[in-house]
Every structure is written in C-alpha cells, then in structure tokens.
Structure 1
Amino acid sequence: MQKKGHSVIIVEDNDQHDDECPNEYGNGQSKMSRSHYADKVKDLMIRTRGCELPGTYNPLVVGELFIEQCKPWESLVRRFTSNVLDAALFAINSALHHATDENTAVSLLHEIINPKLYDLRQALEKKIAEVLEPHKSRHPITYNHYLTENVQKAQAQRRRRQLKGVLQRIFGQKLLQGEYRYELDVNELLSQLVETTEADMDRYASYAAIDVMEAYYKLRACNMD
C-alpha cells in the first residue's frame, strides 16, 4: 500500500514534472507536483468552505482527500487474493494429476475442490469489503501520536528545502561545497528568510491539509500492509 496504493504520487516541485506514473498493477496512478496538488486541494476547500478562519480548513477535507487517495486499495487487495486462490488451485490441480488418474482428479476437483474454493472466494470478498469499508466512508480518526510527528516532520522538511533555496540564492552554489566565508547583513538575511512564508491563506491551508492526509495515509497503509 505504501508504494502502489496511492491514487496520486505527490512529488516535490523540484524533483520532476507531472506525468503518468508507470504501474505494473495498472491502477492508473498519476504523479503530480505538490504545488499542483495543492491547487486542486485549494479548489476543493473553496467549494466546501464553512465557517473556518483564514489559514484553517474543514477537517472533512482530509477525509475526502484520503478516500480519493486510497481508491487503488480495493483493486490491489482483490487482485492479490485472486492470485493466491488461483495459485492454490493450480497447486492442488497439479498434485491431483500427479497422484491420481485423470477421472479421479476431475471428479475431486468438480465435486469437492472447486465448490470449497468458491465458498472461500466468496468469504474473502465479504471480508475485503468489511475491512475496506471504514476507509471508504468514515471520517479519519486516530489517537496515534505518530500522526502529529509525521506532520511535523513533513513540514520541517519542506521548510528546510525552502530555507536552503533562499540561502542558495543569497550565497550561491558554493554554500553546498563546504566551508564558505561571506560577509553579510544579518537583517537582510532574516528578511529574505521571512519572505518565504505563504501569504495566500487558502494555499497555506491546502498544504497543511495535504500534510495531515499523507500522515494519516501512512498510518493506515502500515496497518494494511
């Protein structure tokens, strides 16, 4: 689920451009830059706006994002269970034909094995629906402290990339090549760093919602793997 379960693979803006993500499972995953995804989330927030203060968001938005993001889960689980049952049938069929004659093998498959496998397949389908239903319809709920830790880590990493970009603009590429001596105006440096804050409150809220959704997805995907 961690690698193949996302509807949208969100990449950082400076990593690569939006394009279709190759997927051996055929889940229709797409790759999208964080800024592009934030624009989509911002539009969603505007459409579902309630009484939120500027810079905040409706918690239900996280639920909508998560439900959309985990859509491939059902097809992945069903494909996996189908492959397991097909492999079991192949193994049983091979064993029967090795140990018995053709008529006996066919009779056992028709009278006992196939009906039992059919019942097992139906039971698995029911269990899959039961396991996935909370992720498809309920509002995200967790009391796991790793949610806030993951959110804070994601925000710290993004802030680090932003500050690194500012420092590179001021000092140049030599900053990354080791010790570098430079006379600077500390107040000017602080001003440059402060200017990296997001003035668009809706966009700021969209980034915050994405951070929470990704952290929640990570928790739930770990439980599914």
Structure 2
Amino acid sequence: MDAKEIAFEKDRGTREETVNTFVQGIKDCLPTLFGYISIGLAFGIVGAASNLNFIEVTLLSWVVYAGSSQFIICALIAAGTPMLSIVLTTFIVNLRHLLLSLTLAPYFTKYSLWKNIGIGALLTDESFGIASVKAMQEKRLGDRWMNGLNLTAYIGWSLSCMAGSLFGRWIADAEALGLDFALVAMFIALLVLQLQQIPAGKLRGYILLILLTGVLMAVLSQFMAGHTAVLISTVIAASVGTVIIK
C-alpha cells in the first residue's frame, strides 16, 4: 500500500469516526425536536383531558413511546375499552416498527444482540426517517450516532409529555393551537429530505411507489382497519419496489 492509499484510508477512518459519534447523533436529532415537543405537549394535554394523572402520562411516554399509539390508548380509555383490547390494538398499530427495524438492520449486523435491542427499542418513525437520510448520504450507520439520535428523541418526547400533563388543566383544546398538525408536518419534512437524496433517474420510480402505497391504502381501508391497511399496503409496495430494483 503506497502513501496515497494509506492517507486515503486514514482520512476515511477519520470521517467515519466523525460521523459515528454520540454528539453528532444529538445534533442530527435537534431539527425534529420541535415536532416531538409540540406533539408531546398535545399528548400530555389529551392525557389530562382523559383523566390520566401525571404518573400515568409519564409511564405511557416512557414505556409505550409511540405518539399515535398513546393517543389511541387515551381514546380507548375514555371509551371504557377493556384492557386486553387496548393492548392488542397498541400491538397492531406498532407493528410497522418491525418493518422500520428490518430496513435498518443490515447497517448494524456487526454489533452485539444487546446493542441492537437497545437501538431497535427506541426506534421511531422520525428517527427512522433521519437514519434513512443519513444512510443514503454516508452509506453506513454507527451505533454511537444512532444512540445519540434515539436518546435525544426519547428524552425530548418524555419531557414534553410530562410538561403537557402538568399544563393540560389550563388548555381545553390542543387542536385550536394547531398542535395536532405538527406530526404530519414533521413527516412531510422527513419525506422531502429523503427524496432529495435519491438520484434523479430513480426518483420517478420512488414517487410511483408512494402513489401505489396511497392507492392501496385508500382501497384496503374500505375493507379493514386503517392501521392494518397501512401495514399491508407498505408490504405490497415494498415488495413491488424490490422486484423492480432487482
């Protein structure tokens, strides 16, 4: 190996260490924290309106750690739904996390089982979006960076839910403040960031797959629950995309 190759390998190693740092993971999470904060506050307010006390809201944010599921749980509790039905509904709604984890799993095969469990347990839709963009840019992901990303999101979400529960007694309608739209806006921003990283030659194919997913969801939702339609539509579109790419 000549001097140029040695210098190149050293520079590449330096870049990898810079990318795979806990602090960089924190920095990459910061833009999405505004979405976490607004939705977390909204959930805390909704939880308080559903007669959940501060401890109950806190435990939901720590243990369930899924915005859509936490809102559904509040609605089911308010409707007097049996506990078993609440658990099963939460399980089905969160099944999409299996698809998200499977997508990122190839980047973490060199790490231990316990590290992968820690990474997967704190993976969310938003952190998946950020990690997907990072993977397209850098062609790799590191455990330290992913932990910085996940823990920042987890702490931000938990604190926001707790704050919302404390102030919920003074806010009667979260939707009047537009807080319910923050999650949708954050997903749109993450989608745009992902599309920007796709080469122009492949962009059309990805857009067609998105449209296919939307059409499938619209059709299937007429015959089954919305969250089930999302899962099936995603699997079908992903399968079609895999065949096309190959």
Shared fold (TM-score, shorter chain, > 0.5): no
TM-score relative to the length of structure 1: 0.26
Greater share of residues in strand: 1
Pick the structure with more helix per residue. 2
TM-score normalized with structure 2 length = 0.24
Structure possessing the higher radius of gyration over alpha carbons:
1
